[in-house]
Amino acid sequence: MKEIKEIAVRLFGTNKRCSCGGGHEICLGCGVCRAKNPDQLWNEREPIANYIDSTLLKADAREEDIKALCSYAIKAKCKAVCINSHYLPYAKSRLKERSGLCTVINFPLGSGTNLAVLAEAEAVLDEDIDELDMVQNLPALLSGYWMVTSEAIREVKALCNECGTLLKVILETCFLTREELIISCLISKQAGADFVKTSTGMGPAGATAENVRLMRTVVGPKMGVKASGGIRTREDALLMLKAGANRIGTSNAKAIIEG
C-alpha cells in the first residue's frame, strides 16, 4: 500500500528495496534481517492451542487462579501462559517447561520512562522467562517522539537476545490513528521486535480484525502478529487468525480451544 511505503520512507529515508516482505516495501535497516526466516503465519491444520497465550493479568488474581491457569495450559498444550511478574516463580514451578512462560512490562499504561522500562525488563528476564510483552511508550508515540519508543524497544530487545527471550510489543491500538498504527508497526519491526501485539486488554477497546489485517500488511510474513483484548470465543479467535494473527492472547483459552 502506497501510504505505508511513504510513511516508511519519511521515517527511515531510504528507497532500498526490502527482501522480507511487508507493505513498507523499502528496507528498514533492521538490526537483524529476517529475509531468510520462516514465515510467521497461522496454519489452519495445526491445533488452535498452538497459537494461544493463556492469560491472567487481573490485579486480584490469586495463587489458586494461577495454578488453574497453568494446569489447563499444560493439558491443552497452549503456546504460553502470560501472567504478572509476581507469580513468575510459582508458575515456572508448575509449568516445568511444558508451556512457555510470558510476562508483561510497562503494563498497562505504557507510560514509564525508558530507564524504568529497561530496569523492569532486566528484573523479569532474571526469572528465566520465555517471552516478554512490553507496552510501547504511548505518551512519546502520541506526542510525535517515535524515536523514544523505538529506542526502548531496541534496548529491551538487546536484553532479550542475551537470554533467548522472544519480544512482543503491545501497541494499544485503541489509542492510535491509522498512521500511528503504521508507524508503531514500522518502528517495532525496525527495532528488532519479534511480534507486534494489538492490546493490553485493559484499554477501552481490544483487537479488531481490521487492525490485525493492517498490522500484518505492514510487517509482512516474517514477523509475528498477536491479537489480544476481547477475544472470548473460538469464532473470535479464528477471525483474528484469518485476518493475519499467528498468536492469540486470551483469558478464555478453554472456551476457544474446546468451543
Q: Which residues have a catalytic role annotated? A: 133, 197, 226
- C-alpha span between 154 and 121 (Å, rounded): 12
- C-alpha span between 158 and 123 (Å, rounded): 14
| The C-alpha cell that represents 199 in the structure block | 492490546
Determine phi and psi for 48, rounding to 5 degrees. -65, -25
| Residue in this structure with the C-alpha cell 495445526, named with its chain if needed | 46
| The C-alpha cell that represents 83 in the structure block | 501472567
**Paired strand residues for 12:** none
- Cα distances from 128 to residues 89, 165, 192, in angstroms, run 9, 8, 20
- The answer to whether 248 and 237 are in contact (CB under 8 A) is yes
| The C-alpha cell that represents 43 in the structure block | 496454519
What residues contact 7, with CB distance under 8 A and at least 6 apart? 24, 179, 182, 183, 186
Give the length of the chain.
259
- Which phi-psi region, left, alpha or beta, contains residue 201 (left: φ > 0; alpha: ψ -120 to 50)? left
- C-alpha span between 250 and 159 (Å, rounded): 26
Q: Coil, strand or helix: which one is 58? A: coil
